[in-house]
Chain A
């Protein structure tokens, strides 16, 4: 079992936690980590040593981490292994795994670490049985992940494209296996067009994973409102609640996640918060135009009204400004609800305001629910498919790579058997996204559609 590729996965539980553990195993585990780790040269370090440093994607720092080095055969799997302890934000975990994938690791199958450990003779039966339940849990999660409806329904579109590709794969196989007979051949131009069509479909999906605010930076969110409406208090209230477990660990709070919260698995990044921290609100000093410009950059705006000190007329005036904003989701928040007059409360209740008291951290729950509801509904409405699962991302990327080779092959006019190899790979990965494909599918398609056989 020496030829294993290097696998990576989150070893600690899914979801929010103070610390997350990412594990790599395989021949190149140390080398791959070393490529993205800034600190000591991990290749030079002894087994069972711990190193502090940063994980970077290019120049961008993703997180400060502790890296444990285990050299074969003295690891859990008996292969070279790395354990990265990072901060427990799902966003950080995804980013780190992503950069490791980019550098040559492969996402582990459910239970693959245990499988390797077991197959390499590291565990005896008693130990194996002890982790059996764990494995089972892992696979259930994996199953759920697989079944989870993909955002924007791209799986349905992909299934249609895959059907078309199967048809072409059948034509190519047909000319290979039955070339001696009186059969139609796969038209190379049509195949090229189909491949390009699929590439056009999946390229933005892949990009959505890269650029999608959801994964990379969180949804850019702005808290806006008149001075003294309680913006800073709301920000801190939200951050404190959602970031608590991170800040519990001394020294773990750093700027780039400081202004980020995770709700329902979606990250929200508060932009332009610096101003909110100033004792004097500079937003006021730069004027209303700057405020609007700032809000225009956001995908989500929490617009705050000070219900204790605002009249209905003032609200209506500000609403008029807000209607000029396009694109962003705006959630109206009535702050200081505990000090609001009854007349005003009646007015805002009719207007679907979320009422809170940021200072007393009262009713933040409904606000969070509202945020999630709006964000989800908005995305479905926009119909922009966004890839959020690392597994989907990886499958799409592999499909893309295989299809690129198909195009390259068509260009250099390589023979059908080689083109078929890449088409099969593409079908395999597409199949993982949408449902399995086997060679039997191809043969069935051939036999049902073509008259062959002497």
Chain B
């Protein structure tokens, strides 16, 4: 029934959508198979994109030519730049999104790519020939032949939903689980495990009393994810609301503990420590009198509300009664109960850095199947898997981002080399080069790469070049313009800064703490005129470059020093047993992970610097 495709993508969540779009935009013929075409790009959990470290990832996806940023911009109902009060490396864009529009925008974006075909059905297995994947098989018994497969099964593999003492198969609320793939992959030699995640109840916004909550509006001037000029922030925004649990909420929840699938041991899977259920929070942190609840609208036109911070798998009546003890929720009507879900995952140490599996050629894994959590984490893996599947069948080198280049690089490197013990979420503290990996410079870091791949299109590249040029021009001006004390001292005093004694370069003034372009512009009108001709984006970029210069230099040096080892490749079939001087633990780990470079080998736990020295000496036949 089907001709041979270049790439079949299984699953159409954040990972699957990015994978299909990337491969197709690079020129591959792509088949996207999903169990339900109505839930393409579905946000299964909270209706938001970005956040700390995650917002940086969305910017990186956009800079490379992925679509998550654009889709998020189109469907946002609120924008906030988190961590504004901290340094620029911490600034993290986050949007609240209209859940239905988000999914719609993804579907429309995919439909606009001629190279993508769609098929709605459950994939029950892959077709393998000589250790290489050559197609997928569906529940109806149809074979779709192809050159490469990207599996993005999310929480669907043998998904099991828990609400109180009840449990039933399902991949998401009201959606069937997927069966067959885990069993087949295990028979092929893959290791698998069980993970657990959860989601809170949804309520009727018409039943809430917002006067008892704190309003959390969007930024006065909303930003956006995409670097593309044509991707715009919305003209108006919606607010979120904050309220708190209290002792009576906790007491009510405790009544359900004897029916909790978590506490009664019915859930075996590993859950994330940083995204605990409300029962876990009050159990582990018994001394806390209250926990924050974020009341998030699900969209422009719907009354449905997402109760963020109240993830739970307690019985639905306990959920309901506890909710009504929360200020503002006294008359709440529940739309859907919260639930916990267990699903299969495959430890990502079985992958190469390209996200291709070690066992089966041309088979790629992306998203929760690799033990991660989060839309952004999934999307960026999908993007990389799509890119690398395309490159593989075109017989080109894979794209591997370094830890100093992108959070995406940190994420994949962590997964492949360290594995994970719980659903993996990105934090800025996971990145040793946090100062380099900022949301403002993702384009400077990655757009050239995206263009080389054919993923970042000409229009994007031109805009990137213009920005780069403007940044250079402005930097040059700042290094040329000197100001006299009498021109600026009055203004400096006004903003509480030390005055200058001699003619001073503007670039040096900008390096001072608490002096930004807004302050410079306020010092005198001539300067305001000079700088008003530059876009806000350019001013911001230049200001950050100047202020962070010494820190960036230091980190860059560190990155370069370590980076040398990243270029030193290890042959796939390198025989570690031959190297007698390696410790036996190192041998075992190296044989398992099969690092692609010496740099990667050095980050594997159990491999010591001494082992690395020995290895470099013995290698390279």
Contacts and interface: CB of A to CB of B under 8 A. Distances in A.
Interface stretch (A57-65, A172-180, A224-232, A385-393): A172-180
Nearest to A174: B429
Interface in B376-422: 418
B263 interface: no
Chain A binding surface, main DSSP class: helix
B206 interface: no
The winner among B86, B432, B621 for most chain A CB atoms within 10 A is: B86
A132 B429 contact: no
A132 B620 CA distance: 14
Interface in A409-454: 412-418, 420-421, 424, 439-440, 442-443, 447, 451-454
Contacts of B308: 454
Interface string B277-318: 000010011001001101000000000000011010000000
B236 interface: no
Interface residues of B, number: 56
Nearest to A120: B564
Contacts of A452: 274
Interface stretch (B349-357, B501-509, B527-535, B607-615): B607-615
B122 to A, nearest CB: 32
A176 B285 CA distance: 21
B424 to A, nearest CB: 11
Interface in B448-486: none
Contacts of A5: 561
B90 A415 contact: yes
Contact of B618 (A3, A129, A418): A129
B292 A182 contact: yes
B585 to A, nearest CB: 14
Contact of B564 (A4, A135, A142): A4
B570 interface: no
A119 interface: yes
Contacts of B51: 180
Contact of B610 (A111, A129, A179): A111
Nearest to B288: A451
B516 interface: no
Given A3-B560, A135-B581, A443-B430, A417 B610 contact: no
A143 interface: yes
B614 A417 contact: no
Interface string A157-185: 00000000000000001011111111000
B272 A128 contact: no
Nearest to A132: B617
A3 B564 contact: yes
B613 A115 contact: yes
Contacts of B272: 453
Contacts of B292: 181-182, 454
A317 interface: no
A415 to B, nearest CB: 3
A139 B309 contact: no
A119 B564 contact: yes
Contacts, number: 144
Given A177-B52, A177-B53, A447 B613 contact: no
A115 B619 CA distance: 11
B171 to A, nearest CB: 22
Contacts of B517: none
Contacts of B565: 119
A452 B613 CA distance: 40
A454 B306 CA distance: 12
Contact of A412 (B430, B435, B513, B617): B513
Nearest to B514: A413
Interface string B38-58: 000000001000011100000
Contact of A136 (B428, B551, B581, B609): B581
B257 interface: no
A421 B618 contact: no
A75 interface: no
A451 B432 contact: no
B609 A110 contact: yes
B52 A178 contact: yes
A125 interface: yes
A427 to B, nearest CB: 12
Nearest to B427: A177
B347 to A, nearest CB: 17
A176 B621 contact: no
Contacts of A420: 429, 434
Contacts of A361: none
A127 B536 CA distance: 58
B617 A417 contact: no
Contacts of B513: 412-414
A180 B52 contact: yes
A347 B543 CA distance: 83
A109 interface: yes
A418 B435 contact: yes
B555 interface: yes
A114 B619 CA distance: 12
Contact of B609 (A3, A109, A413): A109
A114 B620 CA distance: 14
Contacts of B309: 454
Contacts of B564: 1, 3-4, 119
B616 interface: yes
A136 B273 CA distance: 41
A258 to B, nearest CB: 39
B275 interface: yes
B584 interface: no
Nearest to B282: A451
A131 interface: yes
Nearest to B620: A125
A439 B617 contact: no
A118 B620 contact: yes
Given A119-B568, A179-B52, A418-B435, A111 B90 contact: no
B341 interface: no
Given A179-B86, A416-B90, A417-B90, A451 B285 contact: yes
A176 B617 contact: no
Contacts of A412: 513
Contacts of B618: 125, 128-129, 132
Interface in A80-115: 109-112, 114-115
Those 8 A-B pairs whose CB atoms lie nearest each other, nearest first? A415-B87, A111-B613, A139-B610, A451-B285, A447-B273, A417-B87, A453-B274, A453-B275
Interface of A: 1, 3-5, 109-112, 114-115, 118-119, 125, 128-129, 131-132, 135-136, 139, 142-143, 173, 175-182, 412-418, 420-421, 424, 439-440, 442-443, 447, 451-454
13 contacts: A4-B561, A110-B609, A110-B610, A111-B614, A111-B617, A115-B617, A173-B428, A417-B90, A420-B434, A421-B434, A442-B429, A451-B291, A454-B294
Interface of B: 46, 51-53, 82-83, 86-87, 89-90, 272-276, 281, 284-285, 288, 291-292, 294, 308-309, 311, 418, 427-430, 432, 434-435, 513, 548, 551, 554-555, 557, 560-561, 564-565, 568, 581, 609-610, 612-614, 616-621
Given A142-B610, A173-B427, 10 more contacts: A132-B581, A175-B86, A176-B52, A177-B429, A179-B52, A417-B428, A424-B432, A439-B430, A453-B275, A454-B308
